[in-house]
């Protein structure tokens, strides 16, 4: 949230899945106190969450060659994340967009 504060993005929404780690009261209180809002995705909806595609690509890149020791895992993840380009992110968002309206209308489609 510090990054959002520095960029003057007060009032923005943070979209998250329903993982228990995202729901502790301490976190939700801090988000609210800092004038942000959390919007939780519907259960079992990874197709609405482009970050799932990001991590899938990062994991694929990390797994391309065997790990030689644990010490280089963080570096390998960082290197893989740096290979994700803006066009990847734009494509993942475009892929999710057709589902937004249908979810807002509470249509069943799976």
Express each pLDDT in 34-86 by its tens digit.
888 888 888 888 888 899 999 999 999 999 988 876 668 888 999 999 999 99
Label residue 4 exposed, middle or buried (CB < 10 Å: 0-12, 13-18, 19+). Answer: middle
pLDDT at site 70: 63
The more confidently predicted of residues 1 and 95 is 95
Please check whether residue 25 is in contact with residue 31, taking contact to mean a CB–CB distance below 8 angstroms.
no
Asked if the model's pLDDT at residue 109 lies above 80, the reply is no
Percent of the chain past pLDDT 90, that is, above it, reads 32
> CA-CA distance, 105 to 110, in Å (whole number)?
14
pLDDT value at position 16? Answer: 87
pTM: 0.71
pLDDT of residue 86: 96
Mean pLDDT, all residues of the chain: 88
């Amino acid at each position: 949230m510090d990054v959002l504060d520095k960029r003057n993005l007060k009032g923005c929404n943070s979209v998250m899945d329903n993982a228990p780690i995202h729901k502790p009261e301490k976190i939700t209180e801090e988000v609210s106190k800092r004038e942000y809002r959390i919007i939780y995705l519907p259960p079992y909806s990874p197709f609405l969450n482009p970050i799932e595609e990001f991590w899938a690509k990062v994991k694929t890149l990390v797994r391309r060659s065997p790990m030689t020791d644990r010490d280089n895992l963080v570096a390998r993840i960082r290197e893989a994340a740096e290979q994700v380009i803006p066009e990847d992110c734009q494509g993942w968002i475009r892929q999710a967009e057709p589902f937004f309206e249908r979810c807002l209308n509470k249509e069943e489609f799976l």
